[in-house]
Amino acid sequence: MSAATIDSPGNQKAVAPSANDGGSSRADHIKFLIFALAVLTMPIWLSPIGAAYPDLVQKFAIFGILAIGFNILFGLTGYLSFGHAAFLGVGSYAAVWSFKLLTMNIVPAILFGVLAGGVFALLIGYVSLRRTGIYFSILTLAFAQMSYNLAYSVLTPITNGETGLQLALHDPRILDGPAGAGLPSTNLFGMLTVGYTGFYVCAVMLILAYYLAMRIRRSPFGMALRAIKSNQNRMNYTGFNTRPYTLAAFVISGMYAGLAGSLMAVVDPLAGAERMQWTASGEVVLMTILGGSGTLLGPVLGAGIIKYFENIFSAFNDQVLGRIFDFLPEGLQEAAVVLFSPFVGEGWHLTLGVVFMLIVIFLPGGVMEGVARIKARFDRSRSDTAR
């Protein structure tokens, strides 16, 4: 017994699982099952709020994956990347090329998308992670902008520039055999992945992505990432080589983005450079913060909330507003329409900006913190009445 115990009396006490150490395995798995069930039944329970159509639920799943991956880097490790959209774009391009050259089967497309995201993240991460703080943010931003600009200019043979990369009739598709009359559709071993099938592909991927993120979070690797976020200096003096840890987190995060990008191509087989622009990187930051960075569920919630309201709000116009405020008397109704119209339709981003500021100012932990606060208050009032 070398280093194991020093003064032994401490050894006799029972080892209680603690909330701080990440909850019990059982609780995690119950949460995971609920999550999986909720994701798979989205088309049902989202229909009362008018969100149950394939295009939108696909987006929830895809951006959920993107945000989960981003959170591994930002929420766990504490590195704020402003260039994450680059990996999304690369994943999309890789998937579409797989559709063009190999086969319309989505399995290789997804694999190539993840791989491309990972390799690209390895290259960018290797250089960017030499710095921390805002220097790191600017470096990732610089790389993403370079990728975006190049995709629009000299890389046109690969990206097809402004038009975007699309399928064509004369694409080789060497594994698929002779082409039919029209453009083929993406499929999973023959099963067409359009509409709800496409959604279920994305949903399964989201569930897997969540499960992996959960395992990472509870693992020694994940604990090391959280420690790096908390105090990187101490990590070095504690015998950890933090570079491979941060690089691994960066690459994993890039692979998640690559996966999300390839799924975008699965449900709609084209890829454009605008997916790589830094505003798109900003969007995933917003999602993660809004939902609650550092939490497992938060980023998925954030992605869902933003995509849902983007969809609802941007469809609003003055007539719709007028109908909503129908219950008000004449003058007030018009006033309400005038007051709210800058926030909807084209002005949806204004709402997003305002909400985002409010979140950062008053609720830095995002929706998850809000839920926790309400729960705490509820528990307190319940124990008060019980007394």
Residue 139 touches other proteins, criterion: CB under 8 A: yes
Q: What is the largest distance, in Å, between two alpha-carbon atoms of the chain? A: 84
Residue 157 touches other proteins, criterion: CB under 8 A: no
C-beta of 6 vs 49, nearer to other proteins = 6
Residue 342 touches other proteins, criterion: CB under 8 A: yes
Interface with other proteins (CB under 8 A), residue from 61, 67, 227, 264 = 227
Residue 5 touches other proteins, criterion: CB under 8 A: yes
Task: State which amino acid sits at residue 223.
Answer: M
Q: Per CB under 8 A, which of residues 279..318 are in contact with other proteins?
A: 279, 282, 285, 289
Interface with other proteins (CB under 8 A), residue from 122, 188, 223, 371 = 223
Interface with other proteins (CB under 8 A), residue from 43, 122, 131, 363 = 131
> What's the token pair of residue 133?
């703080």
Contact string (CB under 8 A) for other proteins, positions 41-80, x = contact:
-------------------------------------x-x
Residue 31 touches other proteins, criterion: CB under 8 A: no
Interface with other proteins (CB under 8 A), residue from 121, 235, 257, 300 = 235
195-213: buried (b, 16+ CB within 10 Å) or exposed (e) per residue?
A: eebbbbbbbebbbebbebb
Burial of 166 (0-12, 13-18, 19+ CB in 10 A): middle
Could you give the CA distance from residue 287 to residue 279 in angstroms, rounded to a whole number? 12
C-beta of 102 vs 355, nearer to other proteins = 355
C-beta of 95 vs 290, nearer to other proteins = 290
Residue 26 touches other proteins, criterion: CB under 8 A: no
Q: How far is the CB of 177 from other proteins (least distance, A)?
A: 37
Residue 220 touches other proteins, criterion: CB under 8 A: yes
54-71 and 195-218 are packed helices; what angle lies between their axes, rounded to 10 degrees?
20
Residue 13 touches other proteins, criterion: CB under 8 A: yes
Could you give the CA distance from residue 348 to residue 70 in angstroms, rounded to a whole number? 24
Task: State which amino acid sits at residue 201.
Answer: V
C-beta of 31 vs 188, nearer to other proteins = 31
Could you give the CA distance from residue 153 to residue 148 in angstroms, rounded to a whole number? 9
C-beta of 38 vs 127, nearer to other proteins = 127
C-beta of 47 vs 219, nearer to other proteins = 219
Could you give the CA distance from residue 211 to residue 209 in angstroms, rounded to a whole number? 5
Residue 32 touches other proteins, criterion: CB under 8 A: no
Q: How far is the CB of 128 from other proteins (least distance, A)?
A: 8
3-state helix, strand, coil in the chain (%, to 5): 75, 0, 25
End-to-end CA distance of the chain: 51
Could you give the CA distance from residue 279 to residue 284 in angstroms, rounded to a whole number? 9
C-beta of 279 vs 385, nearer to other proteins = 279
The region of 89-97, 198-206, 347-355, 366-374 touching other proteins under the rule CB under 8 A is 347-355
In sequence order, what are the beta bridge partners of 192? 187
Task: State which amino acid sits at residue 55.
Answer: D
The region of 34-42, 45-53, 214-222, 367-375 touching other proteins under the rule CB under 8 A is 214-222
# binding residues, other proteins (CB under 8 A): 89
Phi/psi at 102 (5° precision):
-100, -75
User: Which of 10, 45, 88 has its CA nearest to residue 275?
Assistant: 88
